Amino acid sequence: MNLPCSIEVKNLCQHVSDATGTLTILDNVSLTARAGEALAITGASGSGKSTLLGLMAGLDVPSSGTVSLMGQSLFDLDEEGRAALRARHVGFVFQSFQLLPNLTALENVMLPLELAGRPAEQAARQMLERVGLSARASHYPKTLSGGEQQRVSLARAFVVRPNVLFADEPTGSLDEQNGQKIIELMFALLKEQGATLVMVTHDPAVAARCDRELRLHAGSIEALPA
């Protein structure tokens, strides 16, 4: 059965020019991620992984090419329109957690729901319970361990029930034991909610958990195993 595409990328290029000339970061990249699929993006440092992830999420605008997210062409929208589309369909998990330091764990998880004008507190408390942090709801990020902070970021990403989760090195700031716990929790939540995952990772074991791996080399797709 052919599942609909959550993301479709066609002929994506990104060039940066300075006084020394033009640097090609991405060169004619095309790919799809289908609904409910887990896709790993791997490659050496500087291969274009994070740039590709950012363009797929509409956080930046490419030099050329197109990205369709949930059937909507991202770059037919202005910045405000892309932000609204992300608010409806997308969750993010970052290596550096990116929690707001002046908000408690509960308030951090409530934030995306509040910004979308949706009821927030009960859903946020339920999601904190799901990630095992009910007792830490009133704690600020600086009082939480790295593993706890990443669990808060998972709760924040999944509380909106996203169609697509973008994850950029989600275990990169964690030790092996905490990293494994985060990956297990993330994949459990993906299965529960049926979300599509697009994840940048340097860890072969993490990439192996995904349905497919896309490897980049010097801004181009090197291999795309079936």
pLDDT at 223: 60
Contact (CB, 8 A) for 158 and 152: no
The DSSP annotation for 110-152 comes to: HHHHHHTT---HHHHHHHHHHTT-GGGTT--GGGS-HHHHHHH
**Tokens, residue 123:** 């859903």
Question: What is the rounded CA–CA span in Å between residue 157 and residue 64?
Answer: 29
143-155 mean pLDDT: 96
Average predicted confidence (pLDDT) for the chain: 92
Q: Where are the domains of the chain?
A: 5-100+149-223
Read off the pLDDT band of 4 (50, 70, 90): low
Q: Which of the pair, 16 or 158, is modelled with greater confidence?
A: 158
> What's the pLDDT score for residue 161?
95
CATH number attached to the domain at 5-100+149-223: 3.40.50.300
Q: Average of pLDDT values for 113-132?
A: 94
pLDDT at residue 116 greater than cutoff 90: no
- pLDDT 10s digits, 32-69: 999 999 999 999 888 999 999 999 999 999 999 999 99
Specify the pTM. 0.91
Hey, what long-range contacts does 111-120 have (CB within 8 A, 24 or more apart)?
111/156, 112/87, 112/156, 112/159, 112/160, 113/159, 113/160, 115/87, 116/87, 116/88, 116/160, 118/160
